Amino acid sequence: MELEEFSKAFEAIYQLAVDGIATAPGRVNLIGEFTDYNDGFVLPCALEFNTQVAYRKRADNKVVVHSLQYPDEFDEFELNDAISAGKSQWGNYIRAVAFVLQRSGAKFSGLDLLIESNVPQGAGLSSSAALEVAVAGAFNEASNLGFTLEQLAKFGQQAENDFMDCQCGIMDQLISAKGLKNHALLIDCLSLVTESIPMPDDLILMIINSNYPRKLVDSEYNQRRLDCEQACTKLGVETLRQATMSALLAAKESMSEHQFKRAHHVISENDRVIKATQALKSNDMNELRQLMAASHHSLKNDFEVTVPATDGLVDICQSALGERGAVRMTGGGFGGAIVCLCRQEDVDVVKNAVLENYEKNFALEADIYVCQVGGGLTLQ
Ligand code: GLA
């Protein structure tokens, strides 16, 4: 939303002018799925869909939150008291961020907050990470806490892990904090070293949301993480980053089927991310197509996080594009969206294929976005 309009909306609610606006984007992951919490590699990019948080410092320790998406709901809590979950689901993300900031020993005052977001929810495009990073940015700026972008991202992740009970990795929050316009970000999740990779000018990024109703996502997600940890124990390594494919194959007999398959996905996916980064640098569609197809196949068969609707969407788009595009599921799985890289002349080919085949076969209507790659956290 335009800053002026958003500032006016804040004033209308609080009868006071804003101090500032923190804006953080959602993301799409090009490749490197479920590798982040295994200390591996990921290659996401930030989107132009974002969450804005208008803030004003209060003289007391109260945090008051309104959202333009949920005008009938609001939340408020005291920073002096122990922070626990409240009634509002979206409000809990703000509580979660305040909780982890407070736990870090940071001293900060209360805020009046107004939230606005155009990140599609439930699509696996990290609407929650965008909210966490923007809120952490607002607290950081309002009280001059001096945290770096990387630290803000870590607070966002801790908010998920220790308050929202989702054992996610660092990818979503780090790309939301550090993304660069028109660039993907290669992240080494072990060292947190990042490299911005320019998106080729003629590469079109499409996201197609399956709108499949996501259920039990967090519990399945956390279970996959446990499978990976158990695989590490069997392999005698601390994280799957240290494991090799030959060591995995040698240990196969000692592992359960799940442990083996999960590790197989992660080890092979790390390799694909490095190759895909090279392919993106050289704008090699054929290589991107093969790597993204292999990633999807592995997510379907080894990590077992796809659903017929996302498998179907990938098939529809890949068949329509042939060798002219690269397609796979993206994000946390169990529904959500697929990502498709293609050239301008094929955008309508993809749209028409989805319109003709998806609803007919899956009784769901997809949302199709042709996206621009946006930048990370900004403070105005
Ligand atoms: C979710 C998590 C991320 C990552 C992806 C899968 O988006 O929040 O940390 O694990 O799933 O790659």
Going from the Cα of 172 to the center of ligand 1, the distance in angstroms, rounded, reads 7
Would you say residue 105 has pLDDT above 70? yes
Catalytically active residues are 172
In the chain, what percentage of residues exceed pLDDT 90?
A: 96
* Closest by CA position to 58, among listed 127, 110, 4: 110
What sign does the CA torsion over 176, 179, 185, 190 have?
Answer: negative
Going from the Cα of 192 to the center of ligand 1, the distance in angstroms, rounded, reads 15
**For range 214-225, the mean pLDDT:** 85
- Residue 108 CA to residue 53 CA, distance in Å, equals 17
**For range 37-48, the mean pLDDT:** 98
The residue type found at 359 is E
Those residues with Cβ within 8 angstroms of residue 147's Cβ, 6 or more apart along the chain or in another chain: 106, 136, 140, 155
Which of 172, 299, 306 is the pocket-test mutation for ligand 1 (most atoms within 8 Å of CB)?
Answer: 172
pLDDT in tens, 111-147: 999 999 999 988 889 999 999 999 999 999 999 999 9
Q: Yes or no: say if 212 and 307 are a contact pair by the CB < 8 Å rule.
A: yes
Ligand 1 atom nearest the C-alpha of 160 is 8
Ligand 1 atom nearest the C-alpha of 221 is 11
Whether residue 331 has its Cβ less than 6 Å from ligand 1 = yes
Q: Yes or no: say if 330 and 337 are a contact pair by the CB < 8 Å rule.
A: yes
pLDDT in tens, 284-329: 999 999 999 999 999 999 999 999 999 999 999 999 999 999 999 9
pLDDT of residue 333: 94
Whether residue 189 has its Cβ less than 6 Å from ligand 1 = no
Residue nearest to atom 5 of ligand 1 (CA): 332
- 347-362 vs 308-321: helix crossing angle, rounded to 10: 140
- Residue 223 CA to residue 129 CA, distance in Å, equals 21
- Residue 153 CA to residue 174 CA, distance in Å, equals 5
